[in-house]
Structure 1
Amino acid sequence: MSDTPPDRLSVNPKSPFFDQALLQRGIGIRFKGVERRDVEEYCVSENWIRVQVGKTMDRKGNPLTIKLAGQVEAWFESSAAGEGDAEADPEAEA
């Protein structure tokens, strides 16, 4: 796996941009210089995030969201499984 998160990712399982394996690694989002934990979907190349509007739901029971435009940065909060584990403590093998 790469250390660069995808350009677009969603937490909604019905979305074509949903990826469970990447979400389990943890994705950090910085929007307009502020770290956000409430992001439902993001797109780095188009500079927008989608966040939930309060506790409001639509008629199908999905949360209502709003798209906010601005500078978006994304990163992985943890390394990929198996990457760097052998390099982390080379004396452990000896």
Structure 2
Amino acid sequence: MASTPPDRLCNDPRSKFYDESMLERGIGIRFNGAERHNVEEYCISEGWVRLPVGKALDRHGQPMTMKVKGQVEAWFLTPDAEAPQE
């Protein structure tokens, strides 16, 4: 496995940027200098995160999100050696 998170990752299984093996390790996100725990999707190279907007849901029952631009940093919460094994 890689020691750095991917450039873009989403926690929605319907997205082509979803990667369960990366999400199992846990991803930490720092956005504009503040650590965030509610990020739905991020892209480091383009500098944006997608955050839920309140408790509103779309017509499919998924949380409404808003794309916010800024500086994005990502890291793994679990080192590669401690990654869960199946």
**Alignment TM-score, normalising by the size of structure 1:** 0.84
By relative contact order (CA 8 Å, sep 6+), the higher-ranking structure is 2
Matched with 1:23 is 23
Matched with 1:76 is 76
Q: How much has 1:80 moved relative to structure 2?
A: 1.8
Q: How much has 1:81 moved relative to structure 2?
A: 4.2
- Percent identity, aligned pairs only, is 58
Matched with 1:90 is none
How far, CA to CA, are the matches of 1:8 and 1:18 in structure 2? 9
Q: How much has 1:49 moved relative to structure 2?
A: 0.1
Gap runs ≥5 in structure 1: 84-94
How far, CA to CA, are the matches of 2:68 and 2:12 in structure 1? 17
4+ aligned runs moved over 6 Å, structure 1: none
Q: How much has 1:25 moved relative to structure 2?
A: 0.1
> Could you say what the CA RMSD is over the residues aligned between the two structures, in angstroms?
1.3
The size of the alignment, in residue pairs, is: 83
**Aligned pair 1:46/2:46, yes or no?**
yes
Gap runs ≥5 in structure 2: none
Match of 2:55, SS?
Answer: strand
Larger radius of gyration: 1
Matched with 1:63 is 63
